[in-house]
Structures are given as C-alpha cells and as structure tokens.
C-alpha cells in the first residue's frame, strides 16, 4: 500500500460532501408468535418480545408480581418480527446496499423477500448482509424468525458429548439452563440478584446502508509520549477501520484526519485501500500534537475531563467526477471525542513478597473508589435507556466514585454509556461477557467470539474512561476451586480456558487496543506467573498479595474491622439488603413475605441479613415488621460496607498497599433483595447516601481493630496541594446529652494523595483512666482544616457494643417543613429535623400513593445536635400533588436499642 502524508493548514478538502447514507428500519414492525395466536403491530425498534407484549397490553410487566415465572411461556415460544418497506430504482443503483443488524438477541434466521440471507447466534455481534441483488423496486419484506433461547440452549446441550457446567442455576433462582452455551447476556437466564427473562428481539438498530465507495465503521487510536523533540509531544496513531460491503474491494481516495480544535492538525492520507474477503480494512494515520497544546483528561475528583474532537473523513478519488447530489455516496465520516491521558497498571515487587497492583493515571498513583455495574435493565432493549444510564452514572460521580467495573455477565454497554463515563471522569474496568461458568472452545464458538471481541473493542476503544480489560468474571477461580464439579475433567477445562481466554480473547483484544492491560480473569493474580500450572491457571487466584480479589463474608460480623484483610485491590465485595419499593411491584392478591422470599436468590436466602443484624442488635429479626426489616437491613449493609471500605482506604501505603475498593453492586434490575446501593426505581438506599462521605476526597477513618485499639486515619486524595496543617478534634458525649464532657485536639500535617495515622489509643484503658463508662458514651472525631477552620469530615466511634449501650432513649424526632415549592415537575422541600437527644441513623422515608421517586440530601444520618436541615427533591410531574409532613416517615436505631 502506497501512503503519502501531507500536513496542511487548510481544511478545504476535509469539508467536501457529507457522508454515506444510513436509513434506519425503525418503525412499522409486526410481532407474531409461532401459531399466530398473538400479533402486535406498529412496533418500533430497538425492542424485544417482553417489551412489545407489555406495551401492547398483551401481558403485564415481567418485573411485576411473580411474572418472572408466570410469563416464562414467552421465552419458550418462537417469535417472528416482520417489516415491509419500499425501495426505489435510485436506491438500488448504489454499489453497496448493506442490511446491517447492530444487535440481534439471539438465535434467529433472517429472510428478505422470502430468501434466507443469514442466521445469527451472538447478540454481541453486528451482522451485515449484501442485499443489493435481493431487494426489489417497490415493497420489500424483511422477516426475522427467533428461536426460543431456552430451547436453543437445550438443543446445543443435548448435542454435546460431554456437559459444559454449570448445567442450571441454583433452584432458588427460578432460572433456565445452559445459558453458557449461548453468546447471550448471561444474566438473562437468572442470577443471584436478578430474574430470568430470556429475551428475544432486535435489541439494537437495524439499518440499510447505501454507499458507492468506503464506509468508516470505527476509529481507534494509540497515544505515545514523545520526548525527543524540542518540546514534549504526543504521537497520535489513528486507526481507521473501513468497510466496502461484505467482500474484497479496492478504492483510491483521501483519508483526512484532524483534531477540530487545532487548525494545523489536519493530516491527508492519499491511499489505495484494499479490503479483505469480509470487506474490511484498517488504515493508520499518524499525527503529532504538542503537549503544551492540550490539557489532560483526569478521573473524577482529580481534575477536569478535557476532551478533543477527532474527525476522520474518506473521499473517493471520483468525487469531482459526479454530480453534487451524488457525492455523499462517495464520502464517509466519523467523529469521536478523545482524551489525552496515560494509564498504567503498576505491578512491582513488594517487600512482603507479592506484587503491587494499582492504577497510575497521568503518572499519579490513584486509589480507585467505586462499584460494580450490572445492566441497567434485565431486558437488553431497555438497558441502553439514556435517562436511566445518566441517572445512575451521575449518582456514581456525585458519590465521589472514580471507577466502575462493567461486570462480565451483562452486555457491552452503549456508546452513550461510555461517552458519559468520559464526561464524568469515571474510569471503567471492562469485563468481557463471560461469567461464572465454563464455556465451549470449539472453532465455531471461538470464531464468533473473535468477531465479538474485535467489534466491541473497536467500538469503544477510543474512550479515555476505559482503564483495563478483563476477559471474564470469576471463571478462573471457579475452575481452580471446583465450583461446578470440574476437577474430574480439570485438564480438559483448563485447556479450553487457555484456548478461549488467552489464545482467543486476550489475543484479539491486543490486536485492536494497544494501550491497555488485559487480565485473564477477575479475580486474578495479575502478572504473577510463578504459581501457574502448565495451562496458565493460578493455584490461588484469590491470593491477596497479587492482582485483585472478590471478598464476601457471611459467617463473621461485617461491622467489625478486624474481620477484614487487606488485598492489593478489592474489585468485588458486598452485603445484601432489602429495597423499599415493594408497593410498586406487588399484586393485590400477593403476600409480601412470599414475594420477597421468591425474589431472594441468595443460596443462603436472607440468613446473612438477619445474622448481621442480630449479631449487632438485640432484636429477633424474623419477628419484625417488613418496614423495620428493610430499615435495619439497609443500615446493616451500610455499616458493613463502610467498615470494609475504610479498611481498604486506610490500607493504602501499608505493607499490603491496598489501592482499590469497588463494592458490589451499584444498581438493580428489579425490586428484590440484593447487594445494590441504588434501588431499581432510582431511590438511594442508606448505603448510597453514606458512600459519598466514605469516598470523599478528604475524609477521616476511625477504626476499631484487634484488642479494641482505635486508629484514627486522615485520608487525602488531593494531588495538586502541599502538605496541609490540619487538626483532629475529639469530643466525648453521653448518649442523652448534646454537650461534650471531654475534648482533645491532635494537630498534624496531612500529606496529599496519602493516608496519615493521626493517633492511636487503647479505648478501654483510655475510658478507664478518664473514669468513663464505654456503654454510656460515644466519641465524635472531626477533621478541621487549620487554614480556614473548615470542617472537612467527621466520624463517630461507638466504643461499646450496640447490644449493651445505656442511656439511649427516644430522641423524639419532629419534622417541620420550612420550604415547600414545585417548579417544572420538581418538588423541593426543606425539612427541619428536630431532636431532644442524640439520634442514631435517622432514616426519613417519603411515602405517597402515586409518587415514588425522590432524593434526600442525606439519609441514615446521625444527629448530635438539636436541629439539622434535610433537603428533599421529589419528582412531581405537572406539580399535580401537594406534600406535607404526613408524607414523611421517620425511623431511628434508637427505637431498637
């Protein structure tokens, strides 16, 4: 290939024409079942059978009542989507007429005008078909016949000589079997936090693409730091992924690449493009950008998220030979937003014999704070809803998170998701969609996976938010620890593991993304190779001295810091709680206890929740009302996550140097017991209110460890500051008084981007020496910035056990509304929360028959002064409803002590 590079100031050539034409086949679809007893018309895609049947009134929502089981018949039937559309003679004159399915879920046959043009078996793949010779002038008929994924998976399983486990999910999931044999969202057959809704449908757009030359499909890039010039610069290597239909072709033209913010950044690449047998080719264009010309992209909390517009355009050499109105079919363009930043995963030898594992962004070590992301909806066609995605990602950003892990049992997320993560500065740990199972490794399966990886990496690679790739979720540890009874065939599964994840997925990722680390699993030992067997499987993928770990405890008191160990990086950990939105999903004849038990998929059911509550409080969990169970479960979850997260944050710089805490999980797919911090309807659990302070850039950690030793840590994530003079103030109070009975101050210097141990005391000895009773008093620590005397953070300490506390009484909480107004569908209320004595974990719940969505400025908070102000925002469309104090219910822990 002959390539000539020219640097030009003028953009004239770049501005010729528009782009190849894409015509969406969006509206007017019809859905029928196999025996034609159900027909739904006027469907718009993206969509799916569950959504279409609900929207037409044929069924209720699969998320309502016991419908995950009651509507399972939908998943067991075969369904057909049909569309009629018109073509003109001019349409069919174009050299390329390509029918593109961006996402088909999952097993389908596609017919155009009665001719079978293709079969699909991977919902993560874009399928393209050359239909120029099949389309006719006038009315055309497009038919997509879906096979039940449940039946399809069973047929594949029955055809295998040996089973690929797990055969089925646990019985309490109420799920379906063999999902690991399909390239489909793995959670759609049920998970421990989600229902089985085995979907079918056109979950992404269907387009007719018309062009006469080349189509630009994707743009990826690599940043290389250059320090051999007079001024430091970036080498920006741009890879333009081109298509010429579905077969090999040759075209000559100009490929123009520029950063639109810089007039002198245009590069023109005169080239002869020859595509492969699939009609695909990649052309590289290099450009240099002075570092002084751009600002860096930073994660949330560390700086701004500066983005620059990278525009790529193709112009065929024949463009000036045709009429103006024809030129757009000889051109193609694509625009992406990129960020200038470096990211590396540092894995160096540590003094204690392991390897470090932390992210360095723009040369700065950064502690990763965040959560795990599951699909925003169990139905794939709804999982790309921009409103829901924006709500969840903004909630993560506002809670001081800088990383989310896109979990490997869901879907590769939408372009909007990744763009919003760029905008919000949320780094993404990107799993590939393989989770908690063994998988096939035959050549047909591997070839499909190669295409899946190639397409999805190319689609999302340019986003600066993507920090790392992991080829699967928990499959290495499942194999090593014999989760699915694989030991009897270990060598077989180990060889398949290596073939799929190392030789196929890792290899394919590295072909298309030259900038990011690839982990062969999560958890994993990262770069540590000394303990791997001949297949490359670690002897202990959960070794805390290497890589990342997933850590759950259900038989120890999660409220106690001494029950946690420090890893290098905790990419999963969590505790369950009950949500509060049951009134939105319970049927009039449903029993709430039965519904909750049905939706509790934890193998231990709700015993871990009740154990944790009863371990810390003098209550019999089963005898409580559901309102009280919900409150205590959410409080208990928040306490446990706070304790564990603070162990990890305080462990930075220690001998284990913990540098990441991603709790499980951010969001939900239905109203059910789960590990989430945000309920399915968008309301925050107590945990999500707390996590903002837990992940605050500057915070105070008070940690009761072994032998009741109290360590007080000051944490700073700031990177652009000097050492700061700070003071930790300690005040001791009686439980029935607002005035402190003892005070101390501890001045110190806070080091930026580090943890400082401020003080350490033996609690029992200290209280004894002061003549104080541990069970009658609590301690409140405050972090004060000495420069402006600003309160930075506070942290209470309860030296006595909650079961043995004395002097706790009714705080007599009263609410008073001081502001009550509604504008543009947003109702804003200011609540004065008044108490007569210290109150533990005040929870204020908004209660209304119709309106369910609301936001509190804080909740589950401790109040040690007579009055606090609480801001409440309530979604109130058209400002139709009025609200008063009667719409708020208050609960405190005091009433359980």
Express each pLDDT in 11-38 by its tens digit: 333 333 345 788 999 999 999 999 999 9
Strand order in the sheet with 698-704: 698-704, 709-716, 754-762
Q: Is 572 a residue of the active site?
A: yes
> What's the CA gap between 437 and 180, in Å, rounded?
6
Beta bridge partners of 315: 254, 331
The sign of the CA dihedral 505, 509, 515, 516 is negative
638 Cβ contact list (under 8 Å, min separation 6):
685, 686, 687, 689, 690, 860
Closest CA to 208 of 125, 315, 101, 108: 101
Residue 762 phi/psi, 5-degree rounding, is: -90, 105
- Pairing assessment for the beta strands 233-243 and 215-226 based on DSSP bridges: antiparallel
> What's the CA gap between 311 and 293, in Å, rounded?
18
Contact 676, 665 (CB under 8 A): yes
Mean pLDDT of 477-494: 98
> What's the CA gap between 712 and 756, in Å, rounded?
9
676 Cβ contact list (under 8 Å, min separation 6):
193, 579, 665, 666, 667, 668, 685
The DSSP letter of residue 588 is: T
> What's the CA gap between 456 and 447, in Å, rounded?
14
State the pLDDT at residue 589: 97
862-889: pLDDT as tens digits: 999 999 999 999 999 999 999 999 999 9
Q: Given the structure tokens 């709790």, which residue do they identify? A: 663
Is 229 a residue whose pLDDT tops 80? no
**Which one is the CATH code of 23-207: 2.60.120.260, 1.10.1740.10, 3.40.640.10, 3.40.50.300?**
2.60.120.260
One DSSP character per residue, 700-765 reads: EEEEE-GGGEEEEEEEE---S---EEEEEEEEEEETT-SSEEEEEEEEEEEPTTEEEEEEEEEHHH
> What's the CA gap between 46 and 381, in Å, rounded?
6
Q: List the structure tokens of 606.
A: 């709700």
Catalytic hit among 176, 243, 413, 474 = 474
Contact 701, 647 (CB under 8 A): no
Contact 601, 672 (CB under 8 A): yes
Instruction: Return the half-sphere exposure (C-beta side, CA atoms, 13 A cut-off) of residue 462.
Output: 25
Mean pLDDT of 140-159: 98
Alpha carbon separation from 728 to 51, 697, 698, 788, 789 (Å, rounded): 55, 16, 13, 14, 11
Closest CA to 298 of 372, 222, 402, 392: 402
One DSSP character per residue, 329-384 reads: GGEEEEEEEE-B--EEEE--B-TTSSB--EEEETTEEE-EEEEEE--SSSSHHHHT
- Pairing assessment for the beta strands 206-211 and 21-24 based on DSSP bridges: antiparallel
State the pLDDT at residue 18: 40
> What's the CA gap between 85 and 71, in Å, rounded?
32
Q: List the structure tokens of 157.
A: 């399983």
> 154 in helix, strand or coil?
helix
Is 212 a residue whose pLDDT tops 90? yes
Q: List the structure tokens of 278.
A: 């699939």
164-200: pLDDT as tens digits: 999 999 999 999 999 999 999 999 999 999 999 999 9
Binning pLDDT at 50, 70 and 90, where does residue 325 land?
A: low
State the pLDDT at residue 720: 85
Share of the chain above pLDDT 70, in %: 97
Q: pTM, whole model, 2 decimals?
A: 0.96
> 469 in helix, strand or coil?
strand
Contact 29, 81 (CB under 8 A): yes
Q: Is 447 a residue of the active site?
A: no
State the pLDDT at residue 582: 97
> What's the CA gap between 556 and 235, in Å, rounded?
52
> What's the CA gap between 348 and 363, in Å, rounded?
15
Is 8 a residue whose pLDDT tops 60? no
> 420 in helix, strand or coil?
helix
Is 822 a residue whose pLDDT tops 70? yes
One DSSP character per residue, 753-796 reads: TEEEEEEEEEHHHHHHHTT--GGGEEEEEEEEETTTTEEEEEEE
H-helix or E-strand containing 92?
A: helix 89-92
Strand order in the sheet with 777-785: 740-750, 724-734, 777-785, 790-797
Counting every residue, how long is the chain?
897
Contact 749, 723 (CB under 8 A): yes
Mean pLDDT of 547-556: 96
Catalytic hit among 176, 209, 381, 572 = 572
Q: List the structure tokens of 728.
A: 């930790």
Mean pLDDT of 411-439: 98
Q: List the structure tokens of 527.
A: 């770069």
> 550 in helix, strand or coil?
strand
Is 224 a residue whose pLDDT tops 60? yes
Q: Which CATH superfamily is domain 814-896 in?
A: Immunoglobulins (2.60.40.10)
862 Cβ contact list (under 8 Å, min separation 6):
796, 838, 839, 840, 841, 842
One DSSP character per residue, 105-122 reads: BS-EEEEETTEEEEEE-B
> 812 in helix, strand or coil?
coil
277 Cβ contact list (under 8 Å, min separation 6):
247, 248
State the pLDDT at residue 1: 26
H-helix or E-strand containing 466?
A: strand 466-470
Q: Do the domains at 23-207 and 814-896 have one common CATH topology?
A: no
Burial pattern 543-577, b for ≥16 Cβ within 10 A else e, equals: bbbbbbbbbeeeeeebbbbbebebbbbbbbbbbbb
Contact 874, 854 (CB under 8 A): yes
**What's the mean pLDDT when you consider all of the chain?**
95
> What's the CA gap between 454 and 512, in Å, rounded?
7
Mean pLDDT of 805-814: 94
> What's the CA gap between 20 and 205, in Å, rounded?
17
User: Of residues 529 and 13, which shows the higher confidence score?
Assistant: 529
Closest CA to 436 of 684, 128, 187: 187
167 Cβ contact list (under 8 Å, min separation 6):
157, 177, 178
State the pLDDT at residue 11: 30
State the pLDDT at residue 228: 65
State the pLDDT at residue 128: 98
Q: List the structure tokens of 408.
A: 């490997």
Domain boundaries, the chain: 3-20+213-338, 23-207, 347-694, 698-804, 814-896
Question: Is it true that domain 698-804 has CATH number 2.40.37.10?
Answer: no
**Which one is the CATH code of 3-20+213-338: 3.40.50.11030, 3.40.50.300, 3.40.50.720, 2.60.40.10?**
2.60.40.10
36-76: pLDDT as tens digits: 999 999 999 999 999 999 999 999 999 999 999 999 999 99
Alpha carbon separation from 350 to 594, 656, 826 (Å, rounded): 52, 8, 53
**Is it true that the peptide bond before 523 is cis, omega within 30 degrees of 0?**
yes
Is 269 a residue whose pLDDT tops 90? no
* Topology (CATH level 3) of domain 347-694: TIM Barrel (3.20.20)
565 Cβ contact list (under 8 Å, min separation 6):
544, 551
Q: Given the structure tokens 């986003």, which residue do they identify? A: 463
722-764: pLDDT as tens digits: 999 999 999 999 999 999 999 999 999 999 999 999 999 999 9
Mean pLDDT of 498-515: 97
Is 402 a residue whose pLDDT tops 60? yes
Instruction: Return the half-sphere exposure (C-beta side, CA atoms, 13 A cut-off) of residue 200.
Output: 29
Q: List the structure tokens of 767.
A: 């209280």
The rounded radius of gyration (Å) of the Cα atoms in the chain is: 29
């Amino acid at each position: 290939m002959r390539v000539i590079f020219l640097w030009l100031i003028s953009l004239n050539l770049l501005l010729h024409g528009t782009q190849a034409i894409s015509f969406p086949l969006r509206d007017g679809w019809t859905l029928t079942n196999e025996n034609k007893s159900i027909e739904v018309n006027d469907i718009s895609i993206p969509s799916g059978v569950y959504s279409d049947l609900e929207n037409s009134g044929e069924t209720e929502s699969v998320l309502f009542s016991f419908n995950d089981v009651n509507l399972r018949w939908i998943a067991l039937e075969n369904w057909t989507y049909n569309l009629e559309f018109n073509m003109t003679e001019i349409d069919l004159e174009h050299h390329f007429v390509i029918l593109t399915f961006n996402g088909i879920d999952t097993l389908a046959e596609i017919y155009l005008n009665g001719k079978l043009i293709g079969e699909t078996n991977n919902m993560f793949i874009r399928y393209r078909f050359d239909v120029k010779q099949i389309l006719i002038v006038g009315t055309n008929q497009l038919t997509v016949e879906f096979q039940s994924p449940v039946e399809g998976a069973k047929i594949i399983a029955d055809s295998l000589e040996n089973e690929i486990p797990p055969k089925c999910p646990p019985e309490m999931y109420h799920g379906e079997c063999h999902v690991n044999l399909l390239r489909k969202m793995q959670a759609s057959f049920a998970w421990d936090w989600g229902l089985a809704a085995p979907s079918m449908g056109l979950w992404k757009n269907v387009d007719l693409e018309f062009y006469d030359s080349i189509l630009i499909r994707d743009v990826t890039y690599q940043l290389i730091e250059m320090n051999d010039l007079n001024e430091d610069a970036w080498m920006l290597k741009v890879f333009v992924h081109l298509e010429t239909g579905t077969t090999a072709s040759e075209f000559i033209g100009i490929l123009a690449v520029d950063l639109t913010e810089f007039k002198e950044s245009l590069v023109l690449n005169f080239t002869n493009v020859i595509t492969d047998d699939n009609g695909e080719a990649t052309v590289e264009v290099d450009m240099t950008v002075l570092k002084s010309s751009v600002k860096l992209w930073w994660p949330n909390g560390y700086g701004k998220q500066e983005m620059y517009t990278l525009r790529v355009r193709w112009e065929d050499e024949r463009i000036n030979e045709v009429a103006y109105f024809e030129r757009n079919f000889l051109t193609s363009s694509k625009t992406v937003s990129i960020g200038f930043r470096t990211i590396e995963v540092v894995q160096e030898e540590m003094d204690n014999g392991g390897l470090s594992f932390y992210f360095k962004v723009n040369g700065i070590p950064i502690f990763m704070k965040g959560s795990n992301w599951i699909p925003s909806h169990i139905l794939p066609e709804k999982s790309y809803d921009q409103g829901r995605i924006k709500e969840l990602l903004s909630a993560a950003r506002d809670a001081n998170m800088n990383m989310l892990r896109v979990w490997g049992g869901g879907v590769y997320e939408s372009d909007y998701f990744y763009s919003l993560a760029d905008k919000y500065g949320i780094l993404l740990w990107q799993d590939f969609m393989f989770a908690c199972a063994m998988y096939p490794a035959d050549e047909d399966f591997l070839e499909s996976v190669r295409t899946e990886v190639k397409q999805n990496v190319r689609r999302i690679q340019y986003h600066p938010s993507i920090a790392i790739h992991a080829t699967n979720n928990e499959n290495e540890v499942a194999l090593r620890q014999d989760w699915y009874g694989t030991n009897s065939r270990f060598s077989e599964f180990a060889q398949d593991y290596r073939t799929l994840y190392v030789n196929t997925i890792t290899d394919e990722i590295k072909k298309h993304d030259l900038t990011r680390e690839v982990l062969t699993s999560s958890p994993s030992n990262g770069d540590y190779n000394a303990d791997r067997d001949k297949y490359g499987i670690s002897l202990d993928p959960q070794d805390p001295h290497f890589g990342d770990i997933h850590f759950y405890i259900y038989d120890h008191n999660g409220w106690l810091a001494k029950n946690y160990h420090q890893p290098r990086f905790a990419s999963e950990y969590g505790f369950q709680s009950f949500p509060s939105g049951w009134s939105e999903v319970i049927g009039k004849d449903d029993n709430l206890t039965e519904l909750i038990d049905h939706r509790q998929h934890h193998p231990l059911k709700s015993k871990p929740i009740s154990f944790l509550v009863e371990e810390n409080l003098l209550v019999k969990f089963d005898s409580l009302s559901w309102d009280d169970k919900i409150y205590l479960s959410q409080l208990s979850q928040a306490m446990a996550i706070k304790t564990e997260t603070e162990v990890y944050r305080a462990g930075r710089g220690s001998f284990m140097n913990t540098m990441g805490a991603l709790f499980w999980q951010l969001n939900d797919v239905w109203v059910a017991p789960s590990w989430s911090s945000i309920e399915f309807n968008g309301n925050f659990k107590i945990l999500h209110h707390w996590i903002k302070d837990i992940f605050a850039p500057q915070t105070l950690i008070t940690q009761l460890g072994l032998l009741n030793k109290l360590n007080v840590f000051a944490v700073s994530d700031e990177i652009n500051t000097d050492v700061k003079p700070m003071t930790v103030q300690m005040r001791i109070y009686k439980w029935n008084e607002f005035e402190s009975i003892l005070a101390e101050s501890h001045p110190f210097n806070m080091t930026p981007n580090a943890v400082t141990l401020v003080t350490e005391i033996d609690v029992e000895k200290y209280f004894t020496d002061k003549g104080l009773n541990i069970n009658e008093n609590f301690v409140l620590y405050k972090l004060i910035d000495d420069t402006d005397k600003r309160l930075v953070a506070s942290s209470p300490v309860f030296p006595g056990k909650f079961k043995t506390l004395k002097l706790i009484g009714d705080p007599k909480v009263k609410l008073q509304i001081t502001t009550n107004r509604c504008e543009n569908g947003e109702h804003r209320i200011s609540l004065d929360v008044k108490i007569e004595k210290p109150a533990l974990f005040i929870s204020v719940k908004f209660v209304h028959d119709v309106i369910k969505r609301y936001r509190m400025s804080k909740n589950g908070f401790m109040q040690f002064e007579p009055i606090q102000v609480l801001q409440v925002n309530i979604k109130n469309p058209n400002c139709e409803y009025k609200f008063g104090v009667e719409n708020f219910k208050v609960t405190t822990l005091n009433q359980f002590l």
